[in-house]
Amino acid sequence: MNYFSSDFKLGILGGGQLGKMMLSDTRKFDIQTYVLDPSEEAPSRIACNKFFQGNLMDFDTVYNFGKQVDVLTFEIELVNIEALEKLESEGVKVFPSPKTLRGIQNKGTQKDFYVANNIPTSPHKRFHSIGDLKSEVGNAIISLPFVWKSAEFGYDGNGVKVVRSAQDLDNLPNVECIAEEMVPFKNELAVIVVRNPSGEIKTYPVVEMEFHPEANQVEYVICPARIDEKVAEKARAIALNVSEKFNHVGLLAVEMFQTNDDEILINEVAPRPHNSGHYSIEASYTSQFENHLRAILDLPLGNTDSKVAGIMVNLVGEEGFSGQVVYENIEKIMAIDGVTPHIYGKRETRPFRKMGHVTIVNEDIAEARKVAEEVKKLIRVISK
């Protein structure tokens, strides 16, 4: 199939910042793109050939959108899987496949999958409702503290809470959920795996994530991770195993814990471009977005090595500010060598909302980390 400068159409479900960044590569290759998103102000709107507004969880909306394209992919997991299955049965190529997505979309199902496939992960228990969980905590069947996760609809730290007392359960939504044993760990790591239908597979270097203590969001993604080479090799091997078991096509971001005794446990995966791979736009030979496209179109995969050390800083809305966004001191950070801001195109800011990111590249990872700290202190996402 001729994808380039032709009648071929790629459909993307979800028009957020991940879609917008993917579209910069479809434009580079001149591939026609259709995007579906619930918001009329979706960041991807400015960068696609045709934009459709609609509900990603509605069967008819997703099905009718998918019938117009040759290959369908997504930048968010919360999409109607039944519609994807019908499209696939009618000959539309859907990558990653609905089967892969079905194993990942529900976090309880995802955790059970690791257990069934002997993939190391923290012990967990599933619950239909918060009431069921409360009664087990009350009867001391589950011991505190533990990590509560909503089985579906969680994102960016929403849908995750550390439960230290029975009272912490009172404010949680009454949804299907899981309770995970707290894992003492020294690092949170991630490996992005990219795979095409022909079976070619590559991994990006292991990255290390530093988290905001309250918002439960990543503050810094550091590549390469500052870890022992043996641990890095183990992390990449486990990520490849997970990818093989899910049989995914496209990108799979595998988030992990490095325990105090250097074991690797899988936390969770995302079958799409991911926050932990944003550094790759500036720091890698082939960005995660380009490699996702290469993979789903069954083209040769690009080099996943880094050209330089890279650190990504998330730009999130400051507490106490809501409304029309202002990026305070953006000119000051742009005056620093090796600093590139990415603004996502969301007009309205609110506390902890992801509004953009900044990449810092440097030959020296320690120097890059110092600059990242400086950038973090300088730039503020506020409102008028």
Binding site residues for ATP, as ranges?
107, 149, 180-183, 188, 267-268
Q: Two tokens at 354?
A: 């992801």
Do 358 and 331 touch, CB atoms closer than 8 A? no
Full DSSP string of 343-365: E---SEE-TT-EEEEEEEEESSH
Annotated binding site: which residue ranges?
107, 149, 180-183, 188, 267-268
Q: 230: number of CA atoms within 13 Å, CB side? A: 3
Do 46 and 69 touch, CB atoms closer than 8 A? no
198: DSSP letter: T
Burial 148-174 (b: 16+ CB within 10 A, else e): bbbbbebebbebbbebeeeebbeebee
Please report which residue ranges of 190-300 form alpha helices under DSSP H. 229-246, 280-283, 288-296
Do 338 and 311 touch, CB atoms closer than 8 A? no
The whole-angstrom separation of Cα 254 and Cα 190 is 5
Report the sign of the C-alpha dihedral through residues 210, 214, 215, 216, in that order: positive
Secondary structure (3-state) at 76: coil
The whole-angstrom separation of Cα 96 and Cα 104 is 11
Angle at 251 (CA atoms; ends 249, 256), nearest 5 degrees: 120
Do 168 and 161 touch, CB atoms closer than 8 A? yes
Closest CA to 112 of 245, 297, 296: 245
User: What angle separates helix 288-296 from helix 17-29, to the nearest 10 degrees?
Assistant: 70
Could you tell me how far CA 330 lies from the centroid of its own chain? 25
The whole-angstrom separation of Cα 384 and Cα 382 is 7
Do 325 and 381 touch, CB atoms closer than 8 A? yes
